Structure formats: structure tokens, C-alpha cells
Amino acid sequence: QYGDEEHCADVIALKLSFAMLALDRCLADDDTSDRENQLKQATTRLNELVIKDDINDTTKRMLQIAMQGLTHAEISLRYIDTNSDAIMRDHPLLLAAVMLSGECAFAGLHVSKQIEMCNLQLEADEKVALVELMSIIETTCNNIKKKCTSVIAYPHLRRVKEYLTRLGKTIGSMKGRADKRRK
């Protein structure tokens, strides 16, 4: 209404860039070539399959930011889940990686909410892709939470579990709303 969504998208894109850069640095000690390849493949796949050329520039840009944030969060959280044996030993690293992945997810969710509030129209397959990413993130959060044991003895693990609970609930509610809109 006031042209605010364009500036809001710029701020969110900047915040997302910082979160993604910090997450890359956080997980840089590990072999991230597999994670980086997955990110490139997922981004290429989403750009080819989901983002249409016939939608307006604002919708396209906001959808790209949402997909980028959710994709980065999904792949990073799956990487943490897959390599949990090594990552779980370093509790502060685990907390930082989960929180940065969550920031990427929250940026994507915020932009998804902006798309909804601005009544921007998305294709059915774009909505399906958003809901699918949210579902994977929610499931992965639950998987990582199950691996966080001894939360009383280790405060970092307690914070990881609490953060994953909040992230999972937020994504679950947003996914539910997006799924209802899709039908």
C-alpha cells in the first residue's frame, strides 16, 4: 500500500545474507562441499521449477528471498541432522549453527507472510514448494530435538532444544496457513 514491501524485502535480504554468511563460516570447519553442492542444486531446481518469468518483479523478488532462506535453512538443518555425531560434541557450535539456520528460516517465513499480507498471487506449484520446504524443516527440527539428550547437564543443548521447538511450532503454524490457502 505504501511501497513498504520493497524496502522491507531489502532489509530482509540483507539480514538473510548475513545469516547465510555466518552459517557458512560456522560450518566451515566441517566438509561443507556436500552442503554447498546441495544448496546450489536446490537453488537451481527451485529457480527452474518454481519462479516464473511472467510474475511481477516484486512478487518474484519476494518469492526468491523466501525460497532462498527456507532452502538454506532446510539444507543446513539436514546437514546438522546427518552429521549430528560430530556436531553434537561441540555444543556452542551446534547452538550457533541451529540459531543461524533458524534465522534463515525466519527470514523466509517473514517474506512468505509478507507475500500473503500483500495479496500477491503465487502459482499452485510455488505454494506447494513453500509448504514442502516448511514440512522438511519442521521434520528436521523434530529429528534434531530427539538427539539432544542431557539437556539438564548441558545448557547449550537445552537452548538448542528450546529454539528448535519454537522454530518447529512457528513453521508448523505457517505451513498450516499456507496449506489452507493452497486448497
- Convert the pLDDT of each residue in 34-44 to its tens digit: 767 777 777 67
Mean pLDDT of the chain: 82
* Half-sphere exposure of residue 36: CA atoms within 13 angstroms, side-chain side: 10
Q: Is the pLDDT of residue 17 over 50?
A: yes
Asked if residues 111 and 58 have their Cβ atoms less than 8 Å apart, the reply is no
Express each pLDDT in 135-156 by its tens digit: 999 999 999 999 888 778 889 9
- The CA-atom distances, in angstroms, between 130 and each of 24, 113, 125, 137, 140 are 23, 11, 9, 11, 16
Q: Is the pLDDT of residue 168 over 50?
A: yes
Asked if residues 98 and 80 have their Cβ atoms less than 8 Å apart, the reply is yes
Express each pLDDT in 31-67 by its tens digit: 556 767 777 777 676 666 555 555 567 777 888 888 8
